[in-house]
Each structure stands twice: as structure tokens, then as C-alpha cells.
């Protein structure tokens, strides 16, 4: 039987997939964990890194639906009462999520000089930095 003291206190998400739907869901999970009192670190790497580019890099993410764009799916979610990308990103920021972007992932894609969103405190670092940030009693998910 699990008790509250057994519940992991931190959620660390590796956001790897460069599709709108998966990055959106990572933000859903992060905001839910934050709202339930957990610390959260979001580590964006490879194509998912584009979601943190200024001004609205997420709009350029691929989608898993033929013929759809990130913007069209976001609008569809909004009309169905599902949080939009910007709403979820803002919620994560206001609930003190830690945003990290992978230095190696940026270099691998030739994007190390790409402007990042200024309204977010985004730390650039590597896998070692991310792993050191994860708590011993935390959970780690790869999306």
C-alpha cells in the first residue's frame, strides 16, 4: 500500500519528440504534477527544443495528423476546452517548473544560436546537468 511519503516529490521529463501532440502532452503532465505539489523539470532536446524558440516556435512543430498544423490542432483543442500550448506553457512557468534545453541537441541540429523565449527562465545544459537536477526519489519520463 502506497502512502503520501512514498509518492515521488519530483517529476523530470525528457521532451525529445518534435511533434506538437507529444510536446503538448508533456506540458499537460508537467502542469498536473506542479498543481499536485511536485517539483518539475522539463528537459527539451532535439526537435522538441523548437518549442522554446522565440516567439512561438511550437507553431513550427510537426504533427501526427496528415494535413494538420500545430496551430490548427491547438485551435481545435481550445474549442474543445483543452488547454492551449501557450496556456499550458504559462501555467508551468507560473507554477515554477524548471525549463532546460539540451546543449548537445541544439548543436546536433545547428540551432545553438536560435533565440529562445525571453519570458521563460530557460537553462541551457547537458544530460549530466539534467541528471544531477533529478531527485533520487523522483520519477523520470521520456516523451
Domain boundaries of the chain, sorted by first residue:
8-142
Q: How do residues 74-101 score in pLDDT, each as one tens digit?
A: 999 999 999 999 999 999 999 999 999 9
Query: What is the model's pTM?
Result: 0.92
The topology (CATH level 3) of 8-142 is Hypothetical Protein Ychn; Chain: A, (3.40.1260)
What is the distance between the terminal CA atoms of the chain, rounded to a whole angstrom? 28
- Write the pLDDT tens digit of every residue in 30-81: 999 999 999 999 999 999 999 999 999 999 999 999 999 999 999 999 999 9
Amino acid at each position: 500500500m502506497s502512502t503520501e511519503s512514498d509518492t515521488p516529490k519530483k517529476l523530470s521529463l525528457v521532451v525529445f519528440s518534435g511533434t506538437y501532440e507529444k510536446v503538448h502532452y508533456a506540458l499537460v503532465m508537467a502542469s498536473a504534477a506542479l498543481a499536485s505539489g511536485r517539483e518539475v523539470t522539463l528537459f527539451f532536446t532535439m526537435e522538441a527544443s523548437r518549442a522554446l524558440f522565440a516567439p512561438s516556435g511550437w507553431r513550427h512543430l510537426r504533427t501526427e495528423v496528415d494535413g494538420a498544423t500545430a496551430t490548427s490542432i491547438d485551435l481545435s483543442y481550445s474549442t474543445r476546452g483543452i488547454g492551449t500550448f501557450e496556456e499550458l506553457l504559462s501555467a508551468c512557468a507560473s507554477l515554477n517548473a524548471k525549463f532546460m534545453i539540451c546543449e548537445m541537441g541544439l548543436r546536433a541540429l545547428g540551432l545553438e544560436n536560435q533565440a529562445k523565449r525571453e519570458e521563460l527562465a530557460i537553462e541551457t545544459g547537458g544530460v549530466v546537468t539534467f541528471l544531477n537536477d533529478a531527485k533520487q526519489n523522483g520519477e523520470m519520463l521520456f516523451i
